[in-house]
Amino acid sequence: MIKHDFGYHTLTDKAFDAVPSLFASSRNGVPKVVVLLTDGNSTYYERTIKAAENVKANDIKIIAVGIGNKVHLFES
């Protein structure tokens, strides 16, 4: 979980930034998958896209699950 005191922001980029280190000691040959649950648009769209590209560059698959009616489909 990414903690912050910024009010009503969706810091998806920060979540993605943390992902590669979570898989640093994973076993070879085991698929790396992260599931992102979100209830809206990320606050910093460009940062989120860049961070997601970094996750994918580390051979980690992203499964995004939008919750609610304010999901930004272009970020999926």
Q: What is the pLDDT of residues 15-63, one digit of tens each?
A: 999 999 999 889 989 999 999 988 767 888 899 999 999 999 999 999 9
Place of tokens 């961070």: 51
pLDDT number for residue 41: 78
- Looking from the CA of 18 toward its CB, the CA atoms found within 13 Å total 10
**pTM for this one?**
0.80
25: which residues sit within 8 A by CB, 6+ positions away? none
